[in-house]
Amino acid sequence: MLCPNCSGYQLQAQELEPGMVSASCDKCQGSLLSLINYQFWLTKQPPATEPLDNSKELSEVQDSAQAKLCPKCNRLMAKYKFSNQSANRLDYCAPCSETWMDKGEWELVKQAGLEQNLAEIFTDKWKRLLREQRTAEVLDGRYRSLLGDEVFDQSASFKTWLGEQEKQRDILQYLQL
C-alpha cells in the first residue's frame, strides 16, 4: 500500500504500541491503523482505571488539512475531531475500518486519555458529545464574562449542588419567590 500523504512511498508494518501493528510511512511517519487490529490490541489491555477527562490541554502536532484517499480502497477518508482541546482530526475510511494518523496524532490520542476509546471517535454519539461539551464551554465563558469570576464560580458550585438534589424543582420554585 502507498502512503496517502507521500507519493510513491510504501507503508511498512510497524508497532504503534506493543502488540498493535499499523502500516507506517518512513517519510512522513504517519500510520494507517486497522480498527480490527486496534480492537484485538484493546482486548489485551487492562481496563481504564480513571474516568475519561476530555478537558486536558493537548499539545499540537502537524495535521494535514487536505483530504486523503484510503490506501486500501482509494475512497475519500472522512475527518473526525477527537477532542475540543486539539484542532487535529483523524482520517477514517468506514468501508475499510481504517484510520490514518499523521505523525504524533496517536500520542495526542493517548495524551487525551482516549487510547481505549479510539473506535468511539468515529461515531455520531462522539460528535454529539463534543458538540455538547463545546456548547457548555461557550455558555460558561459567556456567563463568566457577564457575572465575573467570583460570582460565576459560586453559581457553578450551586448549580452542581442543585443538580444533585432530589427536590430541585421545589428549590427553584422557592428561589423565584
For 134, the grid coordinates are 463545546
pLDDT score for 52? 52
d(CA 151, CA 148): 6
Residue 148's φ and ψ, nearest 5 degrees, are 90, 160
d(CA 55, CA 32): 26
Give the start-to-end residue ranges of the domains of the chain: 12-43+62-122, 128-175
Average confidence (pLDDT) per 10 residues, the chain, 177 residues:
90 95 94 96 82 55 84 95 92 96 93 92 95 95 96 94 94 91
Record the pTM: 0.78
pLDDT score for 140? 95
